[in-house]
Structure 1
Amino acid sequence: MNEINLPDFPQPGERLAPSHKSDDALELLTRRRSTPAIGLSEPGPDEAQIRHLLGIAARVPDHGKLAPWRFILFEHEARASFGNVLGKIWSAKNGDATPEQVDFERNRFNRAPLVIAVISCVTEKHAIPVWEQELSAGAACQNLLIGASAMGFGAQWLTEWYAFDHDVKDMLGLRSGERIAGFIYIGTARDEPVERKRPTAHIGRWKA
């Protein structure tokens, strides 16, 4: 992988450019395509790149400055360890599951070198609507995808059954008001993803 220079994050109080005109950024956004997790492999981001990705993820609109998200990282042996948890939970809830199906569930997190769980952490009974807080967590997921792509990695945002399972949430230590916004799988793409058909945008204009 080509070396990439990671820019410094701005310091509080620093004046920032109101826009960042960039042909490269426009091309990235225009041609961004998720890489299926099954098509990811080593190497994944190194420690400095991971820290930078999480910093990028936090630079999202955040009405009220509540930081309504947190991150759980799965890498190295932790992927297999959590996979064993998924396998046990799946097996317990699907008594007719075959060994092959249980093994598939057990290996979900081994599909990529790095998996980042984005946890939506809303502050309930707050002036900032819950919906806006949840949207901020979704924006953090998208920033991870864009940041990973800009670093030269493939990535996919998935939920799948384990994002909604109460036992999985308990194992992850989710508290009241917390939900899994998604799991971001990040690694090196083994092949170029193929563009899919995109929906036609429904656009309206308000007429005075």
Structure 2
Amino acid sequence: MASTGKTFKRCGCRNSRGQRLEQNCSRLAQRGHGSWYFHCSAPNLFGRSERIRRGGYLSQAAARQARDETLADSAARRTGAGWTLERWLRHWLDTRTRIRPTTRLHYTRDVELVLIPRLGHYRLSQLDGPLLCAVFAEIAQTTNSKGKPQSPSALNHLRTTLRAALNLAVREELIDSNPARHIEIVGYRRPHAQV
């Protein structure tokens, strides 16, 4: 059951010791000082109650409206807006029961060594094609464990792992479409089968 939660105002002022005053600032009553936040609890896609906290609103009415819109959203939408890519990738790996051990090993390596360090802090709802293309361009500039530039084949494997994880997010309706489909790997040619 979703809770109505509450709204509150806070700011980033600090005291003489450098600690944030948050809701204890004496200037909070002044118009234009600080911003409004809300927090509430609502079930996620998997039925577990999660705390939702958002902020940066100019007025208490705007914070209330955002809270009401968030609670009116489907559980899948709330999960997509609240979960980071790191959390989703770990959940995705844990729920893959019908894959071979070597496939799991490769997925885990891609997720733990590259995808989480580079993209893990983004929320699922923040992911888009230009962001992923920029991150993959950065990854292409790095070197592999042997000190050589990243091969197009390795980058394609990373893209395949990310696409598979985000395809499940699309099927679960956490996001509308898979932004990983926009990633193009320069220099990658699909191997030609020889009989």
Greater relative contact order (CA < 8 Å, ≥ 6 in sequence): 1
TM-score > 0.5 by shorter chain:
no
- TM-score bucket of the superposed structures, by smaller chain: under 0.3
**TM-score (norm. length: structure 2):** 0.27
When Rg is computed on C-alpha atoms for both structures, the one with the higher figure is 2
State the TM-score, normalizing by the size of structure 1: 0.26
